[in-house]
A and B are shown apart, each in its own frame.
Chain A
Amino acid sequence: MWKMLNDDHVVAHVLKDFGYWFLFSIVISLAQLWLIPCFYYLTQKPLTWLELVGNGSLLFFATTITSKTAGEYFKKGKSNELATLFCIGVTFLIVMMSVFAYALVTAARMGILASNSLSPERVATVSNILALSGAIFSGAFTLLIRVDGK
Protein backbone atom coordinates (compact mmCIF):
# COMPACT_ATOMS: atom_id res chain seq x y z
CA MET A 1 0.00 0.00 0.00
CA TRP A 2 2.82 2.41 0.87
CA LYS A 3 4.47 1.62 -2.44
CA MET A 4 1.28 2.60 -4.27
CA LEU A 5 1.04 5.84 -2.34
CA ASN A 6 4.67 6.61 -3.15
CA ASP A 7 4.10 5.93 -6.85
CA ASP A 8 1.11 8.22 -6.73
CA HIS A 9 3.38 11.07 -5.68
CA VAL A 10 5.93 10.61 -8.48
CA VAL A 11 4.32 13.29 -10.64
CA ALA A 12 4.29 15.72 -7.73
CA HIS A 13 7.98 14.98 -7.02
CA VAL A 14 8.93 15.49 -10.66
CA LEU A 15 7.01 18.77 -10.82
CA LYS A 16 8.61 19.92 -7.58
CA ASP A 17 12.10 19.14 -8.89
CA PHE A 18 11.26 20.89 -12.14
CA GLY A 19 10.15 23.91 -10.14
CA TYR A 20 13.48 23.94 -8.30
CA TRP A 21 15.29 23.72 -11.62
CA PHE A 22 13.29 26.65 -12.97
CA LEU A 23 13.93 28.77 -9.88
CA PHE A 24 17.66 28.17 -9.55
CA SER A 25 18.80 27.45 -13.10
CA ILE A 26 16.66 30.01 -14.90
CA VAL A 27 15.37 32.74 -12.59
CA ILE A 28 18.46 33.08 -10.40
CA SER A 29 21.02 32.26 -13.10
CA LEU A 30 19.53 34.98 -15.27
CA ALA A 31 19.30 37.50 -12.45
CA GLN A 32 21.27 39.95 -14.55
CA LEU A 33 18.40 40.13 -17.02
CA TRP A 34 15.89 41.30 -14.42
CA LEU A 35 18.06 42.93 -11.72
CA ILE A 36 19.88 45.33 -14.03
CA PRO A 37 16.64 46.54 -15.71
CA CYS A 38 15.13 46.97 -12.22
CA PHE A 39 18.10 49.10 -11.21
CA TYR A 40 17.89 51.14 -14.40
CA TYR A 41 14.15 51.56 -13.90
CA LEU A 42 14.67 52.83 -10.35
CA THR A 43 17.35 55.27 -11.48
CA GLN A 44 15.17 56.28 -14.46
CA LYS A 45 17.79 55.49 -17.06
CA PRO A 46 16.98 53.96 -20.43
CA LEU A 47 18.23 50.47 -21.18
CA THR A 48 17.84 48.44 -24.33
CA TRP A 49 18.03 44.70 -24.73
CA LEU A 50 21.03 45.19 -26.98
CA GLU A 51 22.95 46.98 -24.23
CA LEU A 52 22.01 44.25 -21.80
CA VAL A 53 23.10 41.20 -23.80
CA GLY A 54 25.22 42.72 -26.58
CA ASN A 55 28.41 42.06 -24.63
CA GLY A 56 27.87 38.28 -24.88
CA SER A 57 26.90 37.68 -21.24
CA LEU A 58 24.17 35.24 -22.26
CA LEU A 59 26.79 33.05 -23.93
CA PHE A 60 28.17 32.21 -20.50
CA PHE A 61 24.71 31.24 -19.35
CA ALA A 62 24.26 28.95 -22.38
CA THR A 63 27.58 27.22 -21.75
CA THR A 64 27.13 26.70 -18.01
CA ILE A 65 23.53 25.52 -18.05
CA THR A 66 24.19 23.10 -20.91
CA SER A 67 27.35 21.57 -19.47
CA LYS A 68 25.81 21.33 -15.99
CA THR A 69 22.77 19.49 -17.34
CA ALA A 70 24.88 17.15 -19.46
CA GLY A 71 27.05 16.35 -16.44
CA GLU A 72 24.00 15.62 -14.34
CA TYR A 73 22.55 13.40 -17.08
CA PHE A 74 25.70 11.31 -17.37
CA LYS A 75 25.91 11.05 -13.60
CA LYS A 76 22.30 10.06 -12.91
CA GLY A 77 20.37 9.43 -16.08
CA LYS A 78 21.41 7.60 -19.24
CA SER A 79 17.90 6.39 -19.98
CA ASN A 80 18.65 5.13 -23.50
CA GLU A 81 21.06 5.48 -26.40
CA LEU A 82 18.98 7.98 -28.33
CA ALA A 83 18.80 10.30 -25.32
CA THR A 84 22.56 9.98 -24.81
CA LEU A 85 23.14 10.78 -28.48
CA PHE A 86 20.89 13.83 -28.21
CA CYS A 87 22.68 14.92 -25.07
CA ILE A 88 26.16 14.67 -26.58
CA GLY A 89 25.16 16.29 -29.88
CA VAL A 90 23.26 19.24 -28.46
CA THR A 91 25.83 19.86 -25.71
CA PHE A 92 28.63 19.86 -28.26
CA LEU A 93 26.76 22.27 -30.55
CA ILE A 94 25.77 24.73 -27.83
CA VAL A 95 29.10 24.74 -25.98
CA MET A 96 31.23 25.00 -29.12
CA MET A 97 29.16 27.79 -30.59
CA SER A 98 28.92 29.74 -27.34
CA VAL A 99 32.66 29.51 -26.76
CA PHE A 100 33.40 30.44 -30.35
CA ALA A 101 31.02 33.42 -30.22
CA TYR A 102 32.48 34.61 -26.94
CA ALA A 103 35.99 34.28 -28.37
CA LEU A 104 34.94 36.53 -31.26
CA VAL A 105 33.43 39.06 -28.85
CA THR A 106 36.59 39.08 -26.73
CA ALA A 107 38.82 39.37 -29.80
CA ALA A 108 36.79 42.34 -31.05
CA ARG A 109 36.95 43.95 -27.62
CA MET A 110 40.72 43.49 -27.38
CA GLY A 111 41.29 44.88 -30.85
CA ILE A 112 42.47 41.63 -32.42
CA LEU A 113 39.49 41.83 -34.76
CA ALA A 114 38.33 45.08 -36.28
CA SER A 115 35.71 46.52 -33.95
CA ASN A 116 33.23 47.04 -36.77
CA SER A 117 33.54 43.44 -37.94
CA LEU A 118 31.26 42.18 -35.15
CA SER A 119 27.95 43.95 -34.77
CA PRO A 120 26.32 43.95 -31.30
CA GLU A 121 22.99 43.15 -32.95
CA ARG A 122 24.30 39.89 -34.33
CA VAL A 123 25.99 39.05 -31.04
CA ALA A 124 22.70 39.69 -29.22
CA THR A 125 20.72 37.57 -31.68
CA VAL A 126 23.15 34.64 -31.49
CA SER A 127 23.28 34.98 -27.68
CA ASN A 128 19.49 34.90 -27.49
CA ILE A 129 19.24 31.82 -29.68
CA LEU A 130 22.00 29.93 -27.85
CA ALA A 131 20.67 30.84 -24.40
CA LEU A 132 17.18 29.77 -25.41
CA SER A 133 18.57 26.52 -26.82
CA GLY A 134 20.52 25.89 -23.62
CA ALA A 135 17.47 26.55 -21.45
CA ILE A 136 15.24 24.28 -23.56
CA PHE A 137 17.86 21.52 -23.57
CA SER A 138 18.39 21.82 -19.83
CA GLY A 139 14.66 21.75 -19.11
CA ALA A 140 14.11 18.73 -21.32
CA PHE A 141 16.94 16.71 -19.83
CA THR A 142 16.12 17.77 -16.27
CA LEU A 143 12.65 16.36 -16.83
CA LEU A 144 14.12 13.18 -18.28
CA ILE A 145 16.61 12.76 -15.42
CA ARG A 146 13.93 13.29 -12.77
CA VAL A 147 11.54 10.84 -14.39
CA ASP A 148 14.32 8.26 -14.73
CA GLY A 149 15.47 8.86 -11.19
CA LYS A 150 12.00 8.19 -9.75
Chain B
Amino acid sequence: MMHSILRWISDHFGSLAILTLAASLGSLAFAVVEVLKRLRQLQQKLVRESAAHAEELKRALISEGNQSRADGWDKQNESYAPKKHLDVLDPVGQGASSSSNQSPLGSIGCN
Protein backbone atom coordinates (compact mmCIF):
# COMPACT_ATOMS: atom_id res chain seq x y z
CA MET B 1 0.00 0.00 0.00
CA MET B 2 2.67 2.47 1.12
CA HIS B 3 4.90 1.42 -1.72
CA SER B 4 2.16 2.00 -4.29
CA ILE B 5 1.44 5.49 -2.86
CA LEU B 6 5.11 6.41 -3.05
CA ARG B 7 5.28 5.00 -6.54
CA TRP B 8 2.25 7.05 -7.60
CA ILE B 9 3.77 10.24 -6.11
CA SER B 10 7.10 9.71 -7.85
CA ASP B 11 5.33 9.00 -11.15
CA HIS B 12 3.24 12.17 -10.93
CA PHE B 13 5.78 14.41 -9.29
CA GLY B 14 5.79 17.02 -12.08
CA SER B 15 2.00 17.29 -12.12
CA LEU B 16 1.88 17.55 -8.34
CA ALA B 17 4.49 20.31 -8.39
CA ILE B 18 2.45 22.26 -10.92
CA LEU B 19 -0.68 21.66 -8.81
CA THR B 20 1.18 23.02 -5.77
CA LEU B 21 2.20 26.12 -7.70
CA ALA B 22 -1.38 26.64 -8.87
CA ALA B 23 -2.67 26.23 -5.31
CA SER B 24 -0.20 28.78 -3.97
CA LEU B 25 -1.15 31.21 -6.74
CA GLY B 26 -4.77 30.63 -5.77
CA SER B 27 -3.97 31.47 -2.17
CA LEU B 28 -2.23 34.64 -3.36
CA ALA B 29 -5.31 35.66 -5.36
CA PHE B 30 -7.51 34.92 -2.35
CA ALA B 31 -5.29 37.01 -0.07
CA VAL B 32 -5.28 39.94 -2.51
CA VAL B 33 -9.09 39.85 -2.75
CA GLU B 34 -9.37 39.73 1.06
CA VAL B 35 -6.94 42.64 1.45
CA LEU B 36 -8.84 44.74 -1.10
CA LYS B 37 -12.09 43.93 0.71
CA ARG B 38 -10.61 45.02 4.04
CA LEU B 39 -9.22 48.22 2.53
CA ARG B 40 -12.64 49.06 1.12
CA GLN B 41 -14.22 48.49 4.54
CA LEU B 42 -11.57 50.66 6.11
CA GLN B 43 -12.16 53.43 3.59
CA GLN B 44 -15.92 53.35 4.24
CA LYS B 45 -15.31 53.40 7.98
CA LEU B 46 -13.01 56.41 7.65
CA VAL B 47 -15.56 58.29 5.56
CA ARG B 48 -18.29 57.53 8.12
CA GLU B 49 -16.10 58.60 11.02
CA SER B 50 -15.04 61.77 9.21
CA ALA B 51 -18.67 62.66 8.53
CA ALA B 52 -19.61 62.01 12.15
CA HIS B 53 -16.65 64.01 13.37
CA ALA B 54 -17.48 66.95 11.08
CA GLU B 55 -21.09 66.86 12.24
CA GLU B 56 -20.00 66.81 15.87
CA LEU B 57 -17.71 69.81 15.43
CA LYS B 58 -20.38 71.68 13.53
CA ARG B 59 -22.89 71.12 16.32
CA ALA B 60 -20.29 72.32 18.82
CA LEU B 61 -19.76 75.50 16.81
CA ILE B 62 -23.51 76.09 16.54
CA SER B 63 -24.00 75.55 20.25
CA GLU B 64 -21.37 78.18 20.87
CA GLY B 65 -23.35 80.56 18.62
CA ASN B 66 -20.69 80.72 15.92
CA GLN B 67 -22.92 80.25 12.89
CA SER B 68 -20.55 81.73 10.29
CA ARG B 69 -17.79 79.30 11.25
CA ALA B 70 -20.30 76.46 11.18
CA ASP B 71 -21.27 77.42 7.61
CA GLY B 72 -17.62 77.48 6.66
CA TRP B 73 -17.11 74.10 8.27
CA ASP B 74 -20.05 72.80 6.26
CA LYS B 75 -18.51 73.93 2.97
CA GLN B 76 -15.10 72.64 3.94
CA ASN B 77 -16.46 69.17 4.72
CA GLU B 78 -19.25 68.92 2.20
CA SER B 79 -17.64 65.88 0.58
CA TYR B 80 -18.02 64.00 3.86
CA ALA B 81 -21.57 65.08 4.56
CA PRO B 82 -24.05 62.38 3.60
CA LYS B 83 -27.42 63.38 2.17
CA LYS B 84 -29.21 61.97 5.19
CA HIS B 85 -27.80 64.71 7.39
CA LEU B 86 -29.28 67.36 5.08
CA ASP B 87 -32.64 65.62 5.06
CA VAL B 88 -32.72 65.46 8.83
CA LEU B 89 -31.76 69.09 9.23
CA ASP B 90 -34.03 70.29 6.44
CA PRO B 91 -37.19 68.19 6.66
CA VAL B 92 -39.35 70.59 4.62
CA GLY B 93 -36.82 70.93 1.82
CA GLN B 94 -36.34 74.72 2.00
CA GLY B 95 -32.59 74.42 1.62
CA ALA B 96 -32.88 72.37 -1.52
CA SER B 97 -35.42 74.68 -3.13
CA SER B 98 -33.53 77.93 -2.52
CA SER B 99 -29.94 76.99 -3.31
CA SER B 100 -27.92 73.83 -3.31
CA ASN B 101 -24.97 75.57 -1.63
CA GLN B 102 -27.01 77.16 1.13
CA SER B 103 -26.50 75.80 4.60
CA PRO B 104 -29.39 73.63 5.71
CA LEU B 105 -29.16 75.13 9.17
CA GLY B 106 -31.26 78.06 8.02
CA SER B 107 -34.36 75.92 8.02
CA ILE B 108 -34.06 75.10 11.70
CA GLY B 109 -33.68 78.71 12.73
CA CYS B 110 -29.97 78.88 13.36
CA ASN B 111 -29.40 82.02 11.28
Contact = CB atoms under 8 A, between A and B. Distances in A.
A132 B21 contact: yes
Given A3-B49, A104-B10, A126-B13, A86 B20 contact: no
SS class of chain A's interface: helix, strand, loop or mixed?
helix
Interface residues of A, number: 37
A136 B49 contact: no
A144 interface: yes
Contacts of A86: 23, 26-27, 30
A147 B28 contact: no
Given A4-B46, A4-B53, A104-B10, A97 B20 contact: yes
Interface in B1-52: 6, 9-10, 13-14, 16-21, 23-28, 30-32, 34-35, 38-39, 42, 45-46, 49-50
B28 A140 contact: yes
A93 interface: yes
A150 to B, nearest CB: 9
Closest A-B pairs by Cβ, 6 of them: A140-B31, A133-B24, A140-B28, A137-B24, A136-B24, A129-B17
Given A7-B42, A86-B27, A86-B30, 10 more contacts: A4-B46, A7-B49, A83-B31, A90-B24, A94-B20, A97-B16, A97-B20, A136-B24, A143-B31, A144-B31
